[in-house]
Chains A and B, each alone.
Chain A
Amino acid sequence: DTGVSQDPRHKITKRGQNVTFRCDPISEHNRLYWYRQTLGQGPEFLTYFQNEAQLEKSRLLSDRFSAERPKGSFSTLEIQRTEQGDSAMYLCASTRGVEQYFGPGTRLTVT
């Protein structure tokens, strides 16, 4: 399967801990997006990359959040000092054109 993959699929952490998520896009896709989806809402944009360059960050992305795509392939999203409000589904998508292809997401629960 050559779709977008995300790891882990589920993460439970205690408030104050750091977490890191990984996204592997479809190969040859030069753009990679991160979104966050909370219950009953549509996905909201967090940040995106063109190859290894981070082009835009949403105002939702507080200083506790950081994302990287060091070699223009996989990407990581780190949340430091997690808060209960960070509990959500974190989605990754990739594209080389107009259509974005989404991974299955990482569900984060902060207790």
Chain B
Amino acid sequence: GNSVTQMEGPVTLSEEAFLTINCTYTATGYPSLFWYVQYPGEGLQLLLKATKADDKGSNKGFEATYRKETTSFHLEKGSVQVSDSAVYFCALDSSGNTPLVFGKGTRLSVIA
């Protein structure tokens, strides 16, 4: 079946450090890929998405590239801020507008 595997957290970084959160997936066909973020006490928010191979999703300084050859969608940010502290979830939609399959989430803490 379809699945998403994320690097385990928590991840603790100093402000302005480079961030990478690894995400790999298993799916049949050509899934759409997403990163969602959950700030403390809030609901899930869509951070970025990519719907086909080699697409790059970007938002708020975060980027992720859909790599079909490595079945990956790693999240990166060049310089994190304290306000980026949250839980990040990688997710896939296997065939368009279907239930999302989520990874377990990676907690990021950024310290000043």
Which A residues between 1 and 59 are near B, CB-CB below 8 angstroms? 4, 31, 33, 35, 40-45, 48, 56, 58
Whether B99 pairs with A33 at a CB distance below 8 angstroms is yes
**Distance between B23 CB and nearest chain A CB, rounded to angstroms:** 11
Which B residues between 25 and 75 are near A, CB-CB below 8 angstroms? 32, 34, 36, 42-46, 49, 51
Query: In the complex, how many residues of chain A place their beta carbon closer than 8 angstroms to a beta carbon of chain B?
Result: 25
Whether A42 pairs with B105 at a CB distance below 8 angstroms is yes
User: B residues near A, CB below 8 A?
Assistant: 4, 32, 34, 36, 42-46, 49, 51, 89, 91, 93, 96-97, 99-105
Nearest 5 pairs of A and B residues by beta carbon: A42-B102, A45-B99, A102-B44, A104-B43, A102-B43
Whether A40 pairs with B104 at a CB distance below 8 angstroms is yes
Closest Cβ neighbor of A6 among chain B residues: B43
Docked Cα-Cα span, A95 to B4, in Å, equals 21
Docked Cα-Cα span, A56 to B32, in Å, equals 20
Please tell me which one of the listed residues B34, B42, B51, B100 contacts residue A45 in the complex, with CB atoms under 8 A apart.
B100
User: A residues near B, CB below 8 A?
Assistant: 4, 31, 33, 35, 40-45, 48, 56, 58, 91, 93, 95, 97-105
Please tell me which one of the listed residues B34, B42, B105 contacts residue A41 in the complex, with CB atoms under 8 A apart.
B105
Residues of B within 8 A of A31 (CB): 97
If A91-B44, A101-B46, A102-B45 are given as contacts, then 13 extra A-B residue pairs at C-beta distance below 8 Å, sorted by A number, are: A35-B100, A41-B104, A42-B91, A43-B102, A44-B102, A45-B101, A48-B99, A98-B49, A98-B51, A98-B93, A99-B34, A100-B100, A102-B43
Q: Which among B91, B93, B102 has the greatest number of chain A C-beta atoms within 10 A?
A: B102
Whether A42 pairs with B103 at a CB distance below 8 angstroms is yes
Residues of A within 8 A of B46 (CB): 99-101
Whether B49 pairs with A43 at a CB distance below 8 angstroms is no
